[in-house]
Chains A and B, each alone.
Chain A
Amino acid sequence: QQPVQSPQAVILREGEDAVINCSSSKALYSVHWYRQKHGEAPVFLMILLKGGEQKGHDKISASFNEKKQQSSLYLTASQLSYSGTYFCGTEQNYGQNFVFGPGTRLSVLP
């Protein structure tokens, strides 16, 4: 079952923060986050596992709330290079099919 992402789209000015949410009605084993720029393949950002901790690198971090089956991606002090479509991907159990959300389009303006 496809996870739900919100918002569908967001426009920011350089330096502003953003939060993208991903939620599922099913219990999750893992949540992935990927960014895709126009005309390119998705690129991995991070994975959060059931029972895992909040992760981050550079100014992008994420959390996973197991009780709510929800993950959030936090982009701090956004840069122009952050523009693209962000997808969360979920797996309910190890070895089951991996399902992506519909994506959130992020545009960072100068």
Chain B
Amino acid sequence: EAQVTQNPRYLITVTGKKLTVTCSQNMNHEYMSWYRQDPGLGLRQIYYSMNVEVTDKGDVPEGYKVSRKEKRNFPLILESPSPNQTSLYFCASSLTGGTGELFFGEGSRLTVL
């Protein structure tokens, strides 16, 4: 089944404790991206990747890191999480960039205390 898989789905952590949210797709998509969703603000792009080893900042990259060493994986790293990073995170992928349908993962709800 074609899908985007995120883990963990739910996480409660404390300020400053490094964490990684994994994202994997099995559709051989070139484009992958991360979004955070907060009430009233819609989906804001954190980072995106057009292909392996190519990553670019979105609108809200501060406090986040990503890497794209393999085509299928695009982990989101929070080196030192802070409470303002409490949010719902979505990973998405598409065959190509903006011209392709975005397939979303189920979301990861992160709470930073």
**Which A residues lie at the B interface, using CB under 8 A?**
2, 29-30, 32, 34, 40-44, 47, 49, 87, 89, 91, 94-103
Report whether A94 and B97 are in contact in the complex, using a CB–CB cutoff of 8 Å. yes
CB of B107 closer than 8 Å to a CB of A? yes
In the bound complex, CA of A42 to CA of B58 (Å): 19
Contact between chains at B42 and A2 (CB < 8 Å):
yes
Among A41, A87, A91, contact of B107 (Cβ-Cβ < 8 Å): A41
Chain B contacts for A44, CB-based, 8 A: 101-103
Residue contact A100 to B44, C-beta cutoff 8 Å = yes
Interface string of B76-113 (1 = CB under 8 A from A): 00000000000000100000011111111111000000
The residue from A43, A94, A103 contacting B98, defined by CB atoms under 8 A apart: A94
- Report chain A residues within 8 Å CB of B106: 40-41
Residues of chain A within 8 A (CB-CB) of B43 are 42, 87, 89, 100
- How many Å lie between the Cα of A43 and that of B59 in the bound state? 21
Please indicate the chain A residues that have their CB under 8 angstroms from the CB of B103 in the complex.
44
Asked, given contacts A42-B43, A100-B42, whether A34 binds B102 with beta carbons under 8 Å apart, the answer is yes
**Interface residues on chain B, size class:** 20 to 34
Task: Give the docked Cα–Cα distance between A46 and B56 (Å).
Answer: 25
Q: Are B42 and A101 in contact (CB under 8 A)?
A: yes
Identify A41's interface contact among B50, B97, B104, CB under 8 A.
Answer: B104
| Given A41-B106, A87-B43, A98-B45, A47:B50 Cβ within 8 A | no
Known: A97-B48, A100-B43. A91 touches B90 (CB 8 A): no
